[in-house]
């Protein structure tokens, strides 16, 4: 499976399945899976929380308004269309889901180290 190439230090504790561009990994405390479009929006909403922004420091124009956050976070993960991976070649995005509550916990991006990206502006 492709995740073993990207996460070799976790290979022994991961169970997963990949099918048709949809990846699912099970760790002891989280389920990681390819994001649906709604998951991407939900993760963005979660990252817009003031506590998350203490660490992320995104520009205000990138934040989801507080009045919409819970709406986006209430969607069950994996609902709807798969986020197309071709949007960012060389980047694998996975949403993190708390298996106990089946709610979105965050999102990670694994980037091919051979790609050159500009440094993020602060």
The answer to whether residue 104 sits within a structural domain is yes
The answer to whether residue 23 sits within a structural domain is yes
The answer to whether residue 74 sits within a structural domain is yes
pTM: 0.69
The share of the chain scoring above pLDDT 90, in percent, equals: 16
| Residues 6 or more apart whose Cβ sits within 8 Å of residue 15 | 25, 26
The answer to whether residue 29 sits within a structural domain is yes
Tens of pLDDT along 10-26? 445 445 566 666 778 88
Q: Measured between alpha carbons, how far is 84 from 36 in angstroms, rounded to an integer?
A: 8
The answer to whether residue 107 sits within a structural domain is yes
Provide the residue range defining the domain that includes 101.
3-8+16-111
Tens of pLDDT along 45-69? 989 988 888 888 888 888 999 999 9
Give every strand in the sheet of 15-19, ordered side by side.
15-19, 22-26, 31-33, 91-98, 103-111
Which residue carries 């070799």 as its tokens?
A: 8
Counted domains in the chain? 1
């Amino acid at each position: 499976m492709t995740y073993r190439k990207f996460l070799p230090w976790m290979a022994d504790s991961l169970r997963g399945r990949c099918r048709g561009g949809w990846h699912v990994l099970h760790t002891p405390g989280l389920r990681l899976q390819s994001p649906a479009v709604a998951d991407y929006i939900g993760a963005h909403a979660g990252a817009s929380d003031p506590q998350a922004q203490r660490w992320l420091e995104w520009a205000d124009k990138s934040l989801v308004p507080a009045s919409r956050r819970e709406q986006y976070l209430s969607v069950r993960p994996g609902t709807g269309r798969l986020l197309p991976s071709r949007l960012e070649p060389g980047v694998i995005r996975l949403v993190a889901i708390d298996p106990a509550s089946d709610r979105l916990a965050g999102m990670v991006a694994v980037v091919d180290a051979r790609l050159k990206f500009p440094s993020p502006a602060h």
